[in-house]
């Protein structure tokens, strides 16, 4: 947040992103002098393009714009480009800082300004911060705002909008970022967004944990990045196809390997193991993991059995006992003449978790 003299604001134009100059702009009203105020109907995810404050009296220049005037001009320029933009008044928030120097709790509390009053300019209306609709792409919009847009009136010294380029701020809008509509519950919007993403990643996936009818399951393997060893560097075409339906061409390798392990556990007897396992796979924004079993109670005796089977074992290494992860290979019996085609590593400590219920 900063004064208008050093204001940063953000603009995106669908003219460049989409190439549909006329149709994009025609959908957004842009009337100079009209104020477009933010409401609960906008968002829920938006781009915070600027937070503007009035310049102190002693620093003002004659004819310089007020924060409200600058905000309205920014909104107008955004709307001329076909971008929905709005203003929002951020009220000053006063907090308390306890002073314990006297040794008495609650004594000598000092007030401080946690947030100054400012005029925020927000743009865009997105369901998620990663929305990739062809005509409403959040990431493309944000990147353009941060790197390329130059509000025209900031170039005019008579408006007081003088911007100095620095390494940390190469353009007036470099610090634009995604945020939640301030009229909405931040935690509620984020929770709904995560649930929507998780549902998308898992609802159509074969062996999805969302299809587990139990209350509990045992998490036995977690994959992030290159957490899986693949001996022959071959990828299951079936798994590849499943994940591509969800992630597109930029396939997440950890998700693929988690799915392959799940499939391997469900057909373990064919690889030489004594039984098949009821395995499930789950993906979220940060990782993929595999679970075993479906339990109604945390006291189900099978939990201890699976924990012993898949959990790490203490083995001696250089005179010390070290907890070593168990491996799952295909085939089970590996020899110098018959190396493993695939190999996975289980978590050293399996964890009992509740089966997620995404609404």
C-alpha span between 110 and 94 (Å, rounded): 10
Q: Are residues 160 and 264 in the same domain?
A: no
In-domain check, residue 286: yes
pTM of structure: 0.49
Which of the residue ranges 37-41, 281-285, 339-343 would you say has the lowest mean pLDDT?
281-285
Parallel, antiparallel or unpaired: strands 118-126 and 45-53: antiparallel
Q: Are residues 174 and 258 in the same domain?
A: no
The pLDDT score that the predictor gives to residue 172 is 80
Q: Are residues 52 and 77 in the same domain?
A: yes
Q: Are residues 142 and 277 in the same domain?
A: no
Domain boundary residue among 136, 167, 184? 184
Which of the residue ranges 184-188, 199-203, 215-219, 277-281 would you say has the lowest mean pLDDT?
199-203
Checking if the pLDDT of 350 tops 90, the result is yes
Q: Are residues 159 and 229 in the same domain?
A: no
What values do phi and psi take at 344, rounded to 5? -125, 155
The pLDDT score that the predictor gives to residue 128 is 84
In-domain check, residue 95: yes
All residues at 6 or more sequence positions from 356 whose CB lies less than 8 Å from its CB, including other chains: 198, 209, 210, 282
In-domain check, residue 359: no
> Measuring CA to CA, which residue among 112, 79, 78 is closest to residue 93?
112
* Tokens of residue 214, six digits: 């139990």
In-domain check, residue 254: yes
Q: Are residues 308 and 159 in the same domain?
A: no
In-domain check, residue 129: yes
Which residue range forms the structural domain that includes residue 7?
A: 2-184
Checking if the pLDDT of 235 tops 80, the result is no
In-domain check, residue 51: yes
Domain boundary residue among 138, 161, 184? 184
The pLDDT score that the predictor gives to residue 51 is 85
Residues 8-52 pLDDT 10s: 333 333 333 333 333 444 488 999 999 999 999 998 999 999 888
In-domain check, residue 318: yes
Q: Are residues 87 and 160 in the same domain?
A: yes
Q: Are residues 28 and 49 in the same domain?
A: yes
Say how many C-beta atoms besides its own lie within 10 A of residue 99's C-beta: 12
Q: Are residues 174 and 209 in the same domain?
A: no
Q: What is the mean pLDDT of the chain?
A: 76
C-alpha span between 196 and 141 (Å, rounded): 21
All residues at 6 or more sequence positions from 222 whose CB lies less than 8 Å from its CB, including other chains: 287, 288, 289, 290, 347
Residues 121-150 pLDDT 10s: 999 999 888 888 888 899 898 988 888 888
Domain boundary residue among 125, 158, 184? 184
Residues 81-123 pLDDT 10s: 888 999 998 774 445 544 434 444 445 555 544 445 788 999 9
Residues 205-221 pLDDT 10s: 789 998 999 999 999 99
- Provide the number of structural domains found in the chain: 2
In-domain check, residue 104: yes
Q: Are residues 299 and 172 in the same domain?
A: no
Q: Are residues 259 and 136 in the same domain?
A: no
Q: Are residues 102 and 249 in the same domain?
A: no
């Amino acid at each position: 947040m900063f004064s208008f003299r050093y204001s940063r604001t953000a603009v995106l134009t669908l003219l460049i992103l989409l190439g549909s100059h006329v149709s994009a702009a025609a959908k957004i009203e842009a009337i100079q002098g009209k104020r477009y105020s933010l409401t609960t109907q906008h968002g829920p995810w938006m781009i915070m393009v600027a937070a503007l404050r009035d310049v102190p009296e002693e620093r003002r220049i004659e004819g310089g714009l007020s924060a409200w005037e600058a905000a309205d001009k920014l909104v107008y320029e955004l709307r001329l480009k076909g971008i929905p933009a709005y203003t929002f008044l951020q009220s000053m928030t006063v907090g308390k800082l306890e002073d314990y120097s006297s040794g008495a709790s609650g004594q000598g509390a000092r007030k401080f300004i946690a947030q100054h009053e400012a005029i925020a300019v927000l743009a865009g209306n997105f369901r998620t911060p990663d929305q990739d609709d062809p005509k409403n792409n959040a990431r493309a919009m944000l990147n353009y705002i941060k790197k390329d847009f130059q509000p025209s009136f900031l170039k005019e010294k008579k408006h007081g909008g003088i911007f100095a380029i620095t390494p940390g701020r190469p353009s007036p809008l470099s610090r634009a970022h995604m945020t939640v509509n301030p009229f909405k519950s931040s935690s509620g919007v984020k929770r709904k967004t995560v649930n929507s993403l998780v549902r998308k990643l898992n609802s159509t996936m074969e062996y999805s944990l969302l299809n587990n009818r139990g209350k509990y399951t045992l998490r036995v393997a977690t994959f992030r990045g290159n957490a899986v060893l693949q001996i022959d560097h071959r990828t299951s075409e079936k798994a590849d196809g499943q994940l591509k339906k969800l992630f597109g061409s930029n396939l997440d390798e950890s998700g693929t390997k988690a799915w392959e392990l799940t499939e391997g556990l469900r057909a373990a007897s064919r690889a030489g193991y004594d039984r098949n396992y009821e395995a499930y796979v789950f993906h979220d924004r940060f990782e993929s993991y595999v679970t075993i079993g479906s339990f109604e109670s945390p006291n189900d005796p099978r939990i201890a059995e699976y924990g012993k089977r898949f959990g790490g074992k203490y083995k001696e290494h250089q005179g010390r006992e070290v907890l070593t992860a168990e491996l799952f290979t295909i085939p089970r019996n590996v020899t110098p003449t018959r190396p493993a085609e695939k190999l996975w590593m289980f978590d050293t400590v399996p964890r009992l978790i509740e089966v997620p219920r995404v609404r």
